[in-house]
């Protein structure tokens, strides 16, 4: 199975429960193949997962500063999902994404990416800041949010152009003005 | 044996086992005093220009610093519990698969180890605090352990000596229980830490003193090394040599004499004993790369392999003459294992100063000198503890409800409140029942018997950690902190990476292994100067004391050799 096929499975072309029947081993294999093919791609090309990408972009949208997609956050999340998380964590994460899709269908009769902006926001407002059982929509949204923030703020463009964190500060100031750096 | 034979190439004036924080000092001091020195290091060579990765940004790491978790869990399940063993610096920690040890059920012990040239001096915490006579007389006063054979006046000139080379930043405070050293300018406290310092001073006067952390990091150019540039993650190495480690300071000094041979990948298996002369004559080494068995010979041997490894070597060198292990007539080798109790304290929010942040990543914090059992006895425990800590404001990594463009702006532009943490480092009592022995079956990758470790904290350590939480919270409260919470992570011994005591110094050969010169009571040309030598643990971070004792022992050993007494 190739990347495009995995993307189709993970994305909105079919509903997520389509891969609910895959064994963890098979999922891992898919993930490895995906990563092997995707690891040389630049952060901004190739959208590994429409739902993850859409959620990441809603969490950190393009504004006067870049959005999550522009700095390769979806690829980072894909790497963590396929290579870093345990089989159990990945299954729970995916189950929570499926739950988001189910709620989206219940709300608007369509997959999350095809929902209108207002409906997407209404759904996310019910998830954000709540704690859910592993495998729930709320739990997976919390995981996704944390990975999105981490991937965003450890990306080259955000560190060097937005945060402008110097690699070598040269000195220590214990009472520097908040907005001078 | 004629000159030029293989045997001759393997004969030295001194053999130093280990190249870490004490092995580097032994190499330097012995070579600078004219001895031909062989340094044996079990691990591989390190090339700072290639292996030090402190300036590699997260986006150049495959997992952005989160680590290759599955590999870490498989190969370094114990090591990766240490904060410093991450995606960048896990290469400076051993493979737990190659280096197994066993523990007694219900008594976990975390043995965090580094096997490479430089040892754990690459990843150490760099905090340096002198001991005082409050510490050197502690065993004699309360009866735990055996009396130290030295007092502060014996080691003070050696603290001076090693500190001048190392370069220690710190603030002189004039405290009898925490003697001042040879200080370079202290690293500044930040505005929240200053607020806590002043509040503690206002409430407790000179009884509780909060000062700048004393660290082996140079705040001005020193000894040909550049001042710290505040990049932050010291445990990944330091290309400018701004913090003390063997690779940047002592091993180059030893090499500069032209009299040091450094042999990496040399796993010392046991010591060779000449029963006719009653001396050690050399070491048996397994080549870590090809498994060859080799012997090297020396007139004196310094064990600087770490407390547990040096004990393991003595235990593995048992013979008909030394049935309990070499130099172990006392039966104390491997016993009296100590590690500081820590992982407890308090956090609080320091209100105000919202227009201020820190600039730069200071690899150091604050220190509160011991104040328990200094001038009056505490009802619940003997000995004491010190605090380390720091204050700061969280950035984008703080948990904030929300999402979207405006939320993103707050993550970028705003900060969390000032939070201050105080964590206690408590003294661990010497106890014969905390010990290591050779595991009857388990062996490491090179076939050397592994250690079985049996160690647990007792009532005194638990009472210390209970008091730590109380006094940390009351100091934060005195500073007007809000949201104060206490914690005790219930960490297993070993996790502080201050393991010591397994070949202790003492006055009596019947109850101790080493004399006042770190010399084995029973084998005059054998010296042990790593943490094994410690008769008590005090509560101060111990490395500076190991280093001072090493330099002192080297001076003594060479003096004895020159007088033909060794």
Q: What is the pLDDT of residues B41-70, one digit of tens each?
A: 999 999 999 999 999 999 999 999 999 999
In DSSP notation, B492-559 reads PTTTTS--B-TT-B-S-TTT-SB-TTSBBSS-TTEEE-SGGG-S---SS-SHHHHHHHHHHHHHHHHH
What is the rounded distance in angstroms from the CA atom of residue B392 to the CA atom of residue B29? 41
Q: Does B53 touch chain A (CB under 8 A)?
A: no
* DSSP at B60: G
Q: How far is B390 from chain A (nearest CA, A)?
A: 11
User: Would an 8 Å CB–CB cutoff place B374 in contact with chain A?
Assistant: no
| Cβ–Cβ gap B65/A154 under 8 Å | yes
**pLDDT tens track for B87-118:** 999 999 999 999 999 999 999 999 999 999 99
ipTM for the predicted complex: 0.93
Q: Is the pLDDT of residue B130 over 70?
A: yes
> Which of these ranges, A39-48, B271-280, B400-409, B482-491, has the smallest mean pLDDT?
A39-48
Q: Which residues of A touch B226 (CB under 8 A)?
A: none
C-alpha neighbours within 13 Å on the C-beta side of residue B482: 4
Note every long-range contact of B438-446, with CB atoms under 8 Å and residues 24 or more positions apart, other chains counting: B438/B312, B438/B315, B438/B316, B439/B101, B439/B102, B442/B100, B442/B101, B442/B102, B444/B98, B444/B99, B444/B100, B445/B97, B445/B98, B445/B99, B446/B267, B446/B269, B446/B286, B446/B288, B446/B291
Exposed e or buried b per residue across A80-108, where buried means at least 16 C-beta atoms within 10 angstroms of its C-beta? bbbbbbeeeebbbbbbbbbbbbeebeeeb
Residues of chain A in contact with residue B396, where contact means CB-CB under 8 angstroms, are 149, 153, 163
Mean pLDDT of B444-458: 98
Q: pLDDT band for position A13 (50/70/90)?
A: very low
Residues of A at the B interface, defined by Cβ within 8 angstroms: 58-61, 63, 65, 76, 79-80, 83-84, 124, 128-129, 145, 149-151, 153-156, 159, 162-163, 167-179, 181
**Residue B62 carries which DSSP code?**
T
Between residues A17 and B353, the one the model is more confident about? B353
- Cβ distance A173 to B360 less than 8 Å, yes or no, reads yes
Nearest to A178 among B229, B230, B357 (CB): B357
- How high is the mean pLDDT of chain B? 97
Phi-psi region of B268 (alpha: psi -120 to 50; beta: other; left: phi over 0): beta
Residue A16 pLDDT more than 70? no
Which whole number is the average pLDDT over B176-183? Answer: 98
Q: Are B273 and B321 in contact (CB under 8 A)?
A: yes
Asked if B231 and A59 come within 8 Å (Cβ–Cβ), the reply is: no
pLDDT at A19 over 90: no
Spatial separation of the C-alpha atoms in residues B137 and B115, rounded to whole Å? 34
Q: Please give the Cα distance from A22 to A90 (Å, whole number).
A: 12
Chain A interface includes B63 (CB < 8 A): yes
Instruction: Give contacts of B408 with chain A, Cβ < 8 Å.
Output: 60-61, 63, 65
Q: What is the mean pLDDT of residues B533-545?
A: 98
CB-based contacts of B105, cutoff 8 Å, min separation 6: none
Separation of alpha carbons A46 and A60, rounded Å: 18
Contacts of A118 in chain B (CB under 8 A): none
Q: Is the dihedral of CA B185, B191, B192, B198 positive or negative?
A: positive
B359 vs A163, A167, A176: nearest CB: A176
- The mean predicted confidence, pLDDT, of chain A is 79
Contact A178 B361 (CB under 8 A): no
* Cβ <8 Å between B403 and A76: no
Cβ–Cβ gap A176/B69 under 8 Å? no
Please list every residue in chain B whose beta carbon sits closer than 8 Å to the beta carbon of residue A156. Answer: 57, 59
pLDDT of residue B312 exceeding 80, the answer is: yes
Q: Cβ(B531)–Cβ(B307) under 8 Å?
A: yes
Work out the percent of chain B whose per-residue pLDDT is above 70.
Answer: 99
Determine the Cα–Cα distance for residues B464 and B539; give it in Å rounded to an integer. 11
Contacts with B62 from chain A: Cβ below 8 Å: 79
The arithmetic mean of pLDDT across residues A111-121, rounded, is: 95
**How distant is the Cα of B153 from the closest Cα of chain A, in angstroms?**
36
Residue given tokens 């220590």 in the structure block? A172
Pairing of strands B385-393, B366-368: antiparallel
Distance from CA of B423 to the nearest CA of A (A): 20
| Yes or no, beta carbons of A174 and B57 under 8 Å apart | no
Phi and psi (nearest 5°) for A111?
Answer: -70, 160
Given a cut of 80, whether residue B355 has pLDDT beyond it is yes
* Three-class HEC string of chain A: CCHHHHHHHHCCCCCHHHHCCCCHHHHHHHHHHHHHHHCCCCCCCCCCCHHHHHHHHHHCCCCCCCCCHHHCHHHHHHHHHHHHCCHHHHHHHHHHHHHHHHHHHHHHCCCHHHCCHHHHHHHHHHHCCCCCCCCCHHHHHHHHHHHHHHHHHCCHHHHHHHHCCCCCCCCCEEEEECCCC
Residue B9 confidence class, pLDDT cut points 50, 70, 90: confident
Non-local CB neighbours of B266 within 8 Å, separated by 6+ positions:
B40, B41, B42, B285, B286, B287, B288, B294
Distance between first and last Cα of chain B: 22
Which of A84, A128, A162 is opposite residue B403, by nearest beta carbon? A128
Q: Rounded CA gap, A141 and B524, in Å?
A: 67
Does B8 score more than 60 pLDDT? no
Question: Is residue A92 predicted with pLDDT exceeding 50?
Answer: yes
Pairing state between β B37-40 and B266-274: unpaired
In the structure, what pLDDT confidence band is assigned to residue A131 with cuts at 50, 70 and 90? confident
Give the residue ranges of DSSP H helices in B76-142. 133-136, 138-142
Res A180: pLDDT: 62
For A38-87, write each residue's pLDDT tens digit.
Answer: 333 332 222 337 999 999 999 999 999 999 999 999 999 999 999 999 99
Contacts B55 to A, Cβ<8 Å: 167-168
B285 bridge partner residues: B268, B294
Say if B401 is an interface residue toward chain A (CB within 8 Å): yes
Across the interface, of B194, B411, B415, the residue whose CB is closest to A178 is B415
Q: Does B230 touch chain A (CB under 8 A)?
A: yes
Contacts of B513 (CB under 8 A, 6+ apart): B327, B328, B330, B332, B333, B503, B504, B505, B506, B520, B521, B528, B532
* Spatial distance between the Cα atoms of B443 and B562, rounded to a whole number of angstroms: 41
What is the β-pairing status of strands B356-359 and B341-350?
A: unpaired
Instruction: Tell me the nearest-neighbour CA distance from A1 into chain B, angstroms.
Output: 24
For residue B61, give the chain A residue with the closest CA: A154
B202-241: pLDDT as tens digits: 999 999 999 999 999 999 999 999 999 999 999 999 999 9
Residue A18 has a pLDDT of: 35
* Chain A touched by B70 (CB under 8 Å): yes
Q: What's the rounded Cα separation, in Å, for the pair B98 and B84?
A: 20
Minimum-distance CB partner of A59 among B189, B193, B403: B403
pTM beyond 0.90: yes
> Among A24-38, A39-53, B469-483, where is mean pLDDT lowest?
A24-38
Residue A179, pLDDT score: 83
Mutation target to probe the B interface, by most B beta carbons within 10 A, among A76, A125, A174 is A174
For residues B486 and A88, give the distance between their C-alpha atoms in angstroms, rounded to a whole number: 33
Contacts of A171 in chain B (CB under 8 A): 229-230, 359-360
A158 touches A71 (CB < 8 A): yes
What are B201's two structure tokens? 């001073």
What is the model's pLDDT at position B320?
94
Pairing of strands B366-368, B210-212: antiparallel
pLDDT band at residue A8 using 50, 70 and 90 as cut-offs: very low
Surface of B (205-224) touching A: CB under 8 A? none
How far is the C-alpha of B338 from the C-alpha of B330, rounded, in Å?
18
The stretch B189-208 carries a mean pLDDT of 98
pLDDT at B5: 42
User: Residues A17, A57: contact at Cβ < 8 Å?
Assistant: no
Which of B197, B403, B420 has the highest number of chain A CBs within 10 A, making it the mutation to test binding with A? Answer: B403
- Listed by number, the residues of chain B in 402-461 with a beta carbon closer than 8 Å to a beta carbon of chain A are 402-405, 408-409, 411-413, 415
Task: Judge whether B362 is closer than 8 Å to chain A, CB to CB.
Answer: yes
Q: Are A139 and A132 within 8 A, CB to CB?
A: yes
φ/ψ region of B210 (left if φ > 0, alpha if ψ in -120 to 50, else beta) reads beta
Share of chain B above pLDDT 90, in %: 98
Helices A117-127 and A137-153 sit at what angle, rounded to 10 degrees?
100
Give, in degrees to the nearest 5, the angle at Cα B240 between B238 and B244. Answer: 60
Q: Which two tokens stand for residue A162?
A: 């937005």
**Within 13 Å of residue B385, how many CA atoms lie on the same side as its CB?**
30
- For an interface test with B, the pick among A173, A180, A181 (most B C-beta atoms closer than 10 Å) comes out as A173
Q: Which residues pair with B486 in a beta bridge?
A: B346
Q: Which residues on A lie below 8 Å from B193 (Cβ)?
A: 174
Do the Cβ atoms of B188 and A163 come within 8 Å? no
Q: Which among A59, A163, A172 has CB closest to B412?
A: A163
| Least confident interval from B164-173, B394-403, B492-501 | B394-403
Mean per-residue pLDDT, A111-138: 94
Distance CA B261, CA B267 (A): 15
Find out whether B61 and B87 touch, Cβ atoms under 8 Å.
yes
**From the CA of A84, how many Å to the nearest CA of chain B?**
6
Task: Look at residue B267 and tell me whether its pLDDT is greater than 90.
Answer: yes
Q: Which of B82, B40, B88 is nearest to B64 (CA)?
A: B88
CA distance A63 to A72: 16
Record: contact A172-B230, CB cut-off 8 A: yes
CA distance B83 to B495: 10
Query: What are the structure tokens assigned to B532, written together?
Result: 């094994």
Residues of B in contact with A155 (CB under 8 A): 59
């Amino acid at each position: 199975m190739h990347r495009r096929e995995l993307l189709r499975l993970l994305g909105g072309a079919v509903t997520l429960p389509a891969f609910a029947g895959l064994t963890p081993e098979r999922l891992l294999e898919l993930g490895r193949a995906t990563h092997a093919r995707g690891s040389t791609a630049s952060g901004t090309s190739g959208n590994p997962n429409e739902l993850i990408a859409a959620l990441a972009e809603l969490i950190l949208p393009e504004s006067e500063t870049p959005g999550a997609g522009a700095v390769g956050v979806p690829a980072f999340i894909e790497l963590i999902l396929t290579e870093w998380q345990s089989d159990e964590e990945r299954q729970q994460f995916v189950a929570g994404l499926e739950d988001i899709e189910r709620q989206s269908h219940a709300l608007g009769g369509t997959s999350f990416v095809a929902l209108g902006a207002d409906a997407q926001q209404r759904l996310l407002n019910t998830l954000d800041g709540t704690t859910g059982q592993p495998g729930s929509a709320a739990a997976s949204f919390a995981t996704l949010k944390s990975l999105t923030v981490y991937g965003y703020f450890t990306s080259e463009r955000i560190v060097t152009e937005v945060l402008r964190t110097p690699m070598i500060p040269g000195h220590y100031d214990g009472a520097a003005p908040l907005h001078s750096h | 044996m004629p000159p030029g034979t293989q045997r001759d190439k393997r004969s030295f004036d001194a053999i130093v086992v280990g190249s870490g924080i004490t092995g580097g000092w032994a190499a330097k001091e012995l070579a600078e005093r004219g001895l031909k020195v062989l340094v044996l290091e079990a691990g591989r060579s390190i090339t700072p220009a290639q292996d030090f990765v402190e300036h590699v940004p997260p986006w150049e790491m495959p997992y952005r610093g989160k680590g290759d978790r599955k590999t870490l869990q498989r190969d370094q399940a114990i090591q990766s519990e240490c904060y410093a063993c991450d995606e960048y610096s896990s290469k400076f920690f051993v493979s737990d698969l190659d280096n197994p040890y066993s523990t007694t059920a219900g008594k976990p012990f975390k043995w965090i180890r580094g096997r490479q040239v430089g040892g754990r001096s690459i990843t150490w915490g760099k905090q340096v605090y002198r001991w005082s006579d409050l510490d050197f007389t502690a065993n004699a006063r309360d009866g735990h352990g055996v009396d130290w054979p030295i007092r502060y006046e014996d080691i003070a000139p050696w603290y001076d000596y090693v500190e001048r080379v190392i370069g220690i930043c710190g603030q002189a405070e004039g405290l009898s229980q925490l003697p001042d050293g040879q200080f370079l300018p202290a690293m500044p406290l930040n505005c929240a830490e200053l607020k806590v310092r002043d509040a503690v001073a206002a409430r407790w006067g000179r009884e509780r003193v909060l000062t700048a952390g004393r660290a082996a990091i140079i705040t001005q150019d020193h000894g040909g090394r550049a001042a710290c540039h505040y990049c932050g993650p010291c445990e990944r190495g330091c290309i400018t040599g701004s913090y003390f480690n063997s690779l940047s300071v002592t091993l180059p000094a030893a090499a500069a004499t032209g009299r040091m041979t450094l042999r990496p990948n040399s796993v010392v298996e046991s010591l060779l004993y000449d029963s006719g002369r009653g001396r050690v004559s050399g070491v048996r080494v397994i080549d870590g790369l090809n498994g060859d068995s080799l012997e090297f010979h020396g007139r004196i041997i310094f064990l600087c392999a770490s407390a547990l490894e040096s004990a393991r070597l003595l235990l593995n060198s048992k013979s008909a003459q030394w049935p309990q292990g070499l130099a172990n007539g006392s039966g104390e080798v491997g016993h009296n294992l100590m590690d500081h109790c820590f992982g407890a304290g308090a956090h609080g929010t320091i209100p105000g100063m919202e227009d201020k942040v820190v600039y730069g990543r200071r690899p150091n914090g604050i220190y509160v000198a011991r104040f328990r059992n200094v001038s009056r006895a505490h009802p619940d425990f003997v000995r004491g503890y010190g605090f380390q800590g720091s204050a700061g404001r969280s950035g984008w990594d703080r948990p904030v409800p929300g999402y979207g463009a405006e939320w993103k702006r707050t993550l970028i532009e705003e900060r969390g409140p000032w939070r201050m943490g105080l964590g206690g480092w408590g003294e661990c009592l010497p106890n014969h029942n905390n010990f290591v022995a050779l595991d009857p079956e388990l062996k490491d990758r090179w076939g050397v018997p592994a250690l079985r470790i049996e160690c647990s904290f007792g009532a005194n350590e638990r009472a210390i950690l209970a008091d730590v939480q109380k006094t940390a919270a009351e100091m934060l409260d005195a500073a007007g902190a809000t949201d104060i919470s206490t914690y005790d992570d219930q960490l297993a011994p070993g996790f502080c990476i201050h393991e010591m005591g397994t070949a202790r110094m003492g006055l009596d050969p019947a109850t101790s292994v080493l004399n006042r010169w770190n010399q084995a009571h029973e084998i005059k040309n054998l010296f042990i100067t790593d943490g094994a030598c410690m008769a008590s643990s005090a509560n101060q971070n111990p490395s500076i004391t190991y280093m001072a004792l090493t330099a002192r022992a080297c001076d003594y050993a060479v003096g004895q050799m020159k007088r033909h007494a060794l």
